[in-house]
Amino acid sequence: MTYVEEVMERVKKFNPGEPEFHQAVQEVLDSIAPAVAAHEEEYRKVKLLERLIEPERSISFQVLWVDDNGEVQINRGYRIQFSSSLGPYKGGLRFHPTVNRSIMNFLGFEQTFKNALTGQAIGGAKGGSNFDPKGKSEREIMAFCQSFMTELFKYIGPNEDVPAGDIGVGAREIGYLYGQYKRITNQFEGVLTGKGLLYGGSLGRTEATGYGLVYITEEMLKSKGMTIAGKTVAVSGSGNVATYTVEKAQQMGAKVVTVSDSNGYIYDPDGIKVDVLKEIKEVRRGRISEYVEAVPTATYHPGKSVWEEVTCDIALPCASQNEIKPEHAVGLVERGCYAVCEGANMPTTREATDYLLEKGVWFLPGKASNAGGVAVSALEMSQNSMRKRRSFEDVDAELKEIMKDIWAQVQSAASDYGQPDNYVMGANIAGFRKVVKAMREQGWV
């Protein structure tokens, strides 16, 4: 058995019933295998891979809150502090009914390598709860956030662990979490990112993940002598990442024809109207089906996924994990899609990824292509430390440079190992090399 196979066995043995975590580790271990093989004796001796797949600290806790009917509700909260090799733990909080230990471990593991790619001094973490914010009143959301932070505050701090948002956690939730942290600790400090602009948030953070995704997609296309302008793009999701992906892609001359939520998708042959999307999602907190009321020329496809039938040049999945399944990958290729860049975390199943790579589709994995969000979160941390505010233009320009640099790292690592078009391998090896170097220099911790 190879070292990688041994470690994979270990992951399954110690984390039974965690398919998403197994999937994420398998993908990383498979693609870093050549980099591991070159130093196998040393890595085995220090149990490097065994360390990388074991979070430094896993916290799970009870979250009690009272709903609008006066009934006590119990949810489970998590914070998985995966790796502090490169800096304080950093990664989002997800509030969604599907949250469990497997999802948290997969996201925390991925975050470690993603954060390494950004070049910022941040370690990897993830957290959240199986709380479902859908249909909850303002008061219920606030009560939940306050109760969640009443436990979480013990484990976080501006130099220790700095959470941010993710699915179900936007500016409103970050505000309630921050308020409760401040109340308990009496500290007004940079302990969360994605904060409101009036109390330490950074300009450009809201847009960063979506804008960064489009910037790196453009870099990839440029390397092929192409540009996103004039291309037909399909986007899934209609949350933070999807909205600002649509906005930037269209500013750069693409036509984005779809957005979606878990109930169905919108097809707008004339290009998604970002102002309508923002009004529905950010102002009214509504559902994407409402889009057709404002844009009657668009169509709503209930119960369907974007990936089932839409024709596009470029696919930018921005909803959730494992949304592009093998049959979708086959359909995308048949209908002429030649590039897939992940806005969400692991939105493409392993089988679908392998198929796309085999068919020569340019495939950029989320840990490289959606790293713009956490990169600007790190810029928010530095502004908080300096008590300074940077302009939107300044932050956006740095984001662009960071995404360019990530693209360069991905390309260079992929080329080093003889597979210049395998960006999954490039991203994983580039992130892995940095984490390992930092661990070695700190005495393998």
Q: Which residues bind ligand NDP (CB under 6 A)?
A: 165-168, 170, 209, 237-242, 261-263, 318-320, 343-345, 370, 373
Query: Which residue's CB is nearer to ligand NDP, number 20 or number 166?
Result: 166
Distance separating alpha carbons of residues 162 and 435, to the nearest angstrom: 19
Does residue 130 contact residue 97 with C-beta atoms inside 8 Å? yes
Q: Decide whether 238 or 258 has the Cβ nearer to ligand NDP.
A: 238
Please, what is the minimum distance in Å from the beta carbon of residue 441 to ligand NDP?
28
Task: Give the shortest CB-373-to-ligand NDP separation in angstroms.
Answer: 3
Q: Pick between residue 111 and residue 250 the one whose CB is nearest to ligand NDP.
A: 111
404 is catalytic: no
Q: Which two tokens stand for residue 12?
A: 């399954």
Q: Are residues 376 and 205 in contact, defined by beta-carbon separation less than 8 angstroms?
A: yes
**Among 90, 126, 255, 434, which one carries the catalytic annotation?**
126
Sequential DSSP letters for 264-301: EEEE-TT---HHHHHIIIIIS---GGGHHHH-TTSEEE
Query: What is the Cα–Cα distance from 176 to 44, expressed in whole angstroms?
Result: 45
CB of 3 to ligand NDP, least distance (A): 30
Cα distance between residue 360 and residue 355, in whole Å: 9
**Closer to ligand NDP by Cβ: residue 77 or 128:** 128
Pairing of strands 124-129, 362-364: unpaired
Residue 137, token pair as written in the block: 């009143």
Residues 6+ apart with CB under 8 A from 226: none
- Residues across the chain: 445
Alpha-carbon distance of 29 to 23, in angstroms, equals 10
CB of 417 to ligand NDP, least distance (A): 26
Nearer to ligand NDP, 150 or 345 (CB): 345
Whole-number Cα distances in Å, 247 to 37, 188, 274: 43, 33, 6
- CB 4 to ligand NDP: min, Å: 26
Catalytic residue annotation = 126
